[in-house]
Structure formats: C-alpha cells, structure tokens
Amino acid sequence: MTVTPEFVLPQEVDVIVVGAGGSGLACALEAAARGARVWVCDKAPNPGGATAWAVGAFTCSSSEHQARAGVQDSREQHFADMDAVNAGANRPDNLVLRRLLVDQAPDTLRWLMQLGVRFVGPQLETPHSRPRMHNAVPGGGALVYHLLRHCRRAGVQFQTQCELQDLIVQDGRVAGVRVTLSGGRSASVHARQAVVLASGDFSGSRDMRARFFSAPVVNAEPVYPLNTGSPLRLMEERFGTRLVNADYAAFYIPRMRFVPATSPSWLVRLPPSRLVTGLMQWSLEHLPAALIRPFMMRLVTTVLGPEPALFKQGAALINASGKRIDLDLASPARALTLDPGNRGYIVMDHAVASRFEAWPHFVSTAPGIAYAYLRDYRHSRPDIYRSAQTLEALAGLLQIPAATLLESMRAHWLELGRDPDQISGPFYALGPVRGYITITEGGLTVNDKLQVLDRDDQPVPGLWACGSAGQGGVLLDGHGHHLAWAFVSGRHVGQQLAAAPPQARAST
Ligand SMILES: Cc1cc2nc3c(=O)[nH]c(=O)nc-3n(C[C@H](O)[C@H](O)[C@H](O)COP(=O)(O)OP(=O)(O)OC[C@H]3O[C@@H](n4cnc5c(N)ncnc54)[C@H](O)[C@@H]3O)c2cc1C
C-alpha cells in the first residue's frame, strides 16, 4: 500500500512514533483511538517494514481457533513452554517481558481479527506442548494493510521517506525529533507526551552486524535493508542505553532464500481485504487441499527458501562463475554468504530432481501451511526455475561458463560416488539463491512499561520503545513470537500513553 508523501509536517503532536511496521502501527492506533494526536514517520517510501515481509505466524494460547479445534491451553502453559522453546539460546530470558507477551498475545490476536485480519490454525510446532501457531492469511502484508486502514480512520498522520536523525531533549525530557525528508530537507516535530521508537532491528546494517557477528552473518543480504538500527545507536550514544542480546544469532543464522520474484503473481498483488482473505481462509479450511494448492503455491513460493534436503539428496550449489560451493550441510547458507557475490544456483540432474516432486522430499515449506515441490516452482516461479536437456544448455540459460559448470558437476558426482558418464538429462537449476539475514534480536533495554532505560537503568523521560527496537532481552525463538511481540508491545505502549492523564504525562 502506498502512502503519498505529505510534505506538510505538524509542528507539535501528542505522540511521535518512529517506524511504521507492525509495532509502530499498533502503538499509533491504540494511542489515536484514545484521543491522542499521533504522527508516524518512516524512512521507507511505504509503511510496513519487516512486518510486511513476514510469513504471518502469530503464536499465542487461548484463541478461538484453539477452542474450535478442542485444544486445551492457557497463558500459564505457554509461559512454561517458552523455557523449552528458548532453551537453545542458552542465556537468561527477560521473564517480565515474557509474561507481558504470553498474557497479552491472545487479546492481541482477537484485536487483529477485529481489525479485519484473518488467521488459520492453530498448528503445532514442537517443543510447544499445544498447537498455538496461527497464520495471517495470506501473510504479513495483511497485518499492515488492516492496521494502516484503521490508523487512517483514527486520524493518524503519516510521513514516509522521513528518517529519524536525532531527538530533541528539553529539560532532561525527550520532547521531539529531528528528521530528514527525501531531498535532504531537515525538520523538527515536537511531542507533548512521548516519542516511541518502533524502528525495527539492525539487520540492515553491515557495520552493526560486524560489531556482533562473524563473517557469514556480516556478508548475508538483509531481507529488509532499511532497518539499519541507527535509532538504536543513537540511544547508545545519547543515553548510554544498552542493547540486550545483540549477539544472539540462533534464529537468523544466514538462511538460503530465493531472490524476490521479479513480477509477483497476481495473487500476491491482490489487496488483502476482508473479502479476499475471507475467501482464502474459507478455502483453506473447507476446500480439498488439492483444489486450493495451486493458489497457495503462488503465495508460498514467493517468500520461502530451499530446504537443505536438496543438497543432502545430491543437488549441487553452483556460483555465478560456474564453480561449486563447498557446503556444510548443517547450514548451506553460511558457505554461500562467504562465496564472493553471495549468489548461487541449485543444480541437479533428473534422478535427484524427480525425488522433489512428491512427499517426503519438498523444496520448501511454510510451517503448518504448505509444502512446495519442484513442479510448484515450475508453475509459480518461472523466473527462478530453469531446465535443459544438457548441462551446456543449462549453463547457457543461467549465463554461466559451460565448461566450468561441467567440470564442477563431474567433480560433485564423483564425490557422491556417482559415475558422471551414467548421468543423463534433463538437468534443472533453481535460483539465484542468496544467504539472507531475516532479523536481529538485539533491542534497547526497557522496563515493564517499555520506557527506554539510560545507562543507570533509569527511564529516559518521554521515550518509549516497542517491537524489535524495544525487545529488551525477551527471547522469541520459534515461529510466531516476533510478530506477537511486535503487536503486543506496540499496543502496550500506545495504551499507556493514551491513558495517562495530562499531569502524569508531564512527569513520565
Ligand atoms: C522474511 C521474514 C519473515 C518473517 N516471518 C515472521 C513470522 O511469520 N512470524 C513472526 O513472528 N515473525 C516473523 N518475522 C519477524 C517479524 O516480521 C519482525 O520481528 C517484526 O515484524 C518486527 O516488527 P517491528 O515493528 O519491530 O519492525 P518493522 O516491521 O521492521 O518496522 C520498523 C520500521 O521502522 C522504519 N525505520 C527504521 N529506521 C528508521 C529511522 N531511522 N527513521 C524512520 N523510520 C525508520 C523501517 O523502515 C520500518 O518500516 C519475519 C521477518 C522476516 C524478514
């Protein structure tokens, strides 16, 4: 959804929200619904942030979906299960924020549904003891679409292509922002109540990644490059605020993904209105899987990455020069990110390819939603699917040197104990694939209200954070906790700001 730049900025509002992703929109809507005058700025040309890229998994207990499916669950059980879900992190969790997350997520799912978002589920994802993963239909874009619609109705003002540069601090209190608009013009906007940082993570900053991670993550391509973490650095510099868990990498070790579609399917471009998503949800819940599969495939093949099983079964990863990339099968993306250019093709002969036409070998999966096979890519992603009778012809289609490809594949097959002279076409290639980083976990230190804390762990008056920017050390492993946190934390901040009486506002 495009928001036209409105180059007339307000001089003063009640609440300034920096970032129009899921957390910022949730915060803005809650504050505006309670009468606050809210202004949201985002450096991107369109709102949505990483939220718009998300698959749409939202994990919570006590939903009507669970009730319909006869699942007995509770907030307590979810809280307890998080120990196992986050066990791999091997570090302390922020249990106050975990409590906020699991307690408020069910109500937040209902709130999103009331705004018009439709969910399917619940799906079981171990080690959760209950099925709790709900998926927005058709994905994260629907969350942004409906929140934006309601924000507009509630009178929230937006300014896109508007980047936070600095905070205005008056008498020790954050009282506004200095921003840069497209074209380089600077401007200031004052906030009577609060400035809320909802500016996402730092996955888009190579420098920040280099501060905390080793080469595979540093070289990875960010899915959402505009989240450069500059607001987080600003808080470090101005108030000595600490970043918590910035070095935690479990959930975003580089992942191999196909490059985005050059011309996304008509289905992907449909506005996720109630009517459209209602039809999708009804179809998912009532129609035979075979009937709706072709439509789901158009959606999932746009956002998913290939499974390591392709390489375990004998496919090779070839770079743009035709050379084979040596893989660690536990994390094929790592080797790809270390290869110059971070760009490769998955190449396989007919014998290997034919295994990926049916269960149990799938090219990709959206957990709980669908499995995509080679034929799905042939139909839904012709831009990344190539096949040819000979390797020379395949090299021509990929525009890579044929002799190098032949040599690489011969070496690959010999290594697997296969006789290259017995291998016949057709041959297939999927790609380009790149090693991507989806998100980073490091957020500002916050208290239970999500006020930003300074170097002495005291709240910085007038300054709040939510979403990834305000993650505050809460561990969110597993699918669906990041979106849940974005919306829960955004609402939590928005509700407090709006509810505060004027006298209290002056002293927060
Ligand atoms: C491909 C992908 C799939 C995912 N799937 C899921 C999923 O299914 N379930 C799940 O739970 N999580 C998922 N996640 C993670 C989840 O999307 C994020 O954790 C969540 O959306 C973060 O929300 P946010 O509001 O904090 O940040 P964002 O949605 O990223 O919003 C931050 C906004 O701030 C803006 N901004 C940044 N810096 C500035 C600045 N200096 N000035 C002004 N604006 C600024 C950005 O442009 C952006 O619009 C996924 C992430 C990716 C990338």
Residues 213-242 pLDDT 10s: 999 899 999 999 999 999 999 999 999 999
Residue 41: CB within 6 Å of ligand 1? Answer: yes
459-465 vs 186-197, strand pairing mode: parallel
Beta bridge partners of 134: 58
Ligand 1 atom nearest the C-alpha of 482 is 11
Q: How far is the CA of 402 from the centre of ligand 1 (A)?
A: 41
Residue 105: CB within 6 Å of ligand 1? Answer: no
Highest CATH level, class, for 255-437: alpha beta
Q: Taking a C-beta distance cutoff of 8 angstroms, is the pair 492, 194 a contact?
A: no
**What is the structure's pLDDT at 206?**
96
Ligand 1 atom nearest the C-alpha of 467 is 26
How do residues 364-416 score in pLDDT, each as one tens digit? Answer: 887 656 788 999 899 888 999 999 999 999 999 999 999 999 999 999 999 99
**What is the structure's pLDDT at 2?**
44
Nearest residue (CA) to ligand 1, atom 26: 467
Residue 438: CB within 6 Å of ligand 1? Answer: yes
The pick from 17, 42, 59 for probing ligand 1's pocket by mutation, whose C-beta has the most ligand atoms within 8 angstroms, reads: 42
The structure tokens 């949505």 sit at 48
Residue 440: CB within 6 Å of ligand 1? Answer: no
Residue 17: CB within 6 Å of ligand 1? Answer: no
Tokens at 239, concatenated: 């108030």
**What is the structure's pLDDT at 299?**
65
Residue 3: CB within 6 Å of ligand 1? Answer: no
In the predicted model, residues of the chain with pLDDT beneath 50 are 1-5, 500, 504-508
Highest CATH level, class, for 12-249+441-507: alpha beta
- DSSP letter, residue 230: H
**What is the structure's pLDDT at 506?**
44
**What is the structure's pLDDT at 358?**
86
Nearest residue (CA) to ligand 1, atom 36: 199
**CA–CA separation, 246 and 235 (whole Å):** 14
Residue 121: CB within 6 Å of ligand 1? Answer: no
How do residues 184-194 score in pLDDT, each as one tens digit? Answer: 999 999 999 99
Give the residue extent of every domain in the chain.
Answer: 12-249+441-507, 255-437
Count other C-beta atoms under 10 Å from residue 79's C-beta. 16
How do residues 421-478 score in pLDDT, each as one tens digit? Answer: 999 999 999 999 999 999 999 999 999 999 999 999 999 999 999 999 999 999 999 9
Which residues does 22 contact at the CB level (< 8 Å), separation at least 6? 49, 51, 54, 140, 143, 144, 147, 467, 483, 486, 487, 490
Residue 24: CB within 6 Å of ligand 1? Answer: yes
Q: How far is the CA of 496 from the centre of ligand 1 (A)?
A: 22
370-372 vs 364-366, strand pairing mode: antiparallel
Q: Taking a C-beta distance cutoff of 8 angstroms, is the pair 260, 446 a contact?
A: no
**CA–CA separation, 300 and 104 (whole Å):** 29
The pick from 227, 255, 476, 481 for probing ligand 1's pocket by mutation, whose C-beta has the most ligand atoms within 8 angstroms, reads: 227
Residue 19: CB within 6 Å of ligand 1? Answer: yes
Count other C-beta atoms under 10 Å from residue 396's C-beta. 14
DSSP for 400-455, please give it: S-HHHHHHHHHHHHHHTT--GGG--S-EEEEEEEEEEE-----EE-B-TT-EEE-T
Beta bridge partners of 382: none
Residue 28: CB within 6 Å of ligand 1? Answer: no
